[in-house]
Structure 1
Amino acid sequence: MLRTAINKSRLSAVRVIWGQGRRFQAFSSAAKELDLDGSISLQKARSWDEGVQSKFSTTPLKEIFKDKKVVIFGLPGAFTGVCTKAHVPSYVNNADKLKAKGVDKIICVSVNDPYVMNGWAEKLDAKDELEFYGDFDGSFHKSLDLTVDLGFALMGERSTRWSAFVEDGKIKVLNVENTPADFKVSDAETLLKKI
């Protein structure tokens, strides 16, 4: 009984801290379009051996977004609670509806390495519906002002929770949550209504 009370107390403290960590960050991105000709790239989810074989190649943003309609969503981290139980499943379950609206790709991105993203995608059995990318150094998220310091949770600087509809590199819709624990506006259902 004492252990249960202590665990509930810790959970409450984590929720308060999680919210506070987010409150001090600027979360609305001023970016209206992605820099398709710049040096920022993402790393397609893959195994370590595939990474070695590709000489650790990255994927330029132009290759991902040029002349395409893309739904992309970012989240704090692979294998974390809301990300695993709600955020990714939201897009897996609505993939057909998004593609029926003309979406060419549905992408999940996080400030993780591509090997962790690959393991997570395989565990979620979501690689048929979604493409997974790592943003190993956070440069993509920093360019959009979509990072948050989650050092208190031993995660460092990470992606905030967000979703977007991008057409030929132009950001048409951007939904950003108030805290990393929130899941109110970055879900697939909300994005479907705005496309």
Structure 2
Amino acid sequence: MIQTKREVRMELSPLARQRLERIGKLSPAEQQELSDERETEAVLSPFFAGTSNADELWQKVKALSEHRGEEIIRRIQMRLLDTVRLHTGEDDFNRMGEALLALETLKGSRAYSTIEMLLGSIASLRQRYAEMRQQAYEQLRQQVDQQVRAQSDEARRQGLLMDTESTVEASVKSTREWHDFISKHDAAAQEALNDYVSRIEASL
């Protein structure tokens, strides 16, 4: 699915904002942590907004790492990884993965292939999850479609217009079967996703 570029505004966490409000009372360590968060925001904002790509992000982080070391690389990679969701758009997921791997080349580690493999596992999980949802939706759609179309025919005889497609979708997603399916399979897929993400974090 192709998504248009959109502006994504990164915001400091609630904890960071609280610390900003009491900036004069921060310890040196807390001031450094807040500075790091703001620096990460400044580096990643253009990438998340779609106005820069993985190569341009790589250049920025490379320049920073030359005097800040690998910690700045890992911190930005962690923020990228935070964006991974089951429902993240395909374009966004691929851009994140490309950037994550590009930044890994700046480090003297041998974890590139491991991270690449785990990202591939996440991609496969997301694809299976999407296919499973679509299959369940289509099965339920068949069950409610005839009833909704009968209602649409009756409405038309009364001179009323009814958006059949939207009504079918709303009817499917309001069924107990759909909610039970989502509750069960979302939890399992999310658990698998969390495991992959944790393993990537451990490799960074």
Q: TM-score band (shorter)?
A: under 0.3
The structure with higher relative contact order (CA 8 Å, sep 6+) is 1
Q: Rg larger in 1 or in 2?
A: 2
TM-score calculated relative to the size of structure 2: 0.23
Higher strand share: 1
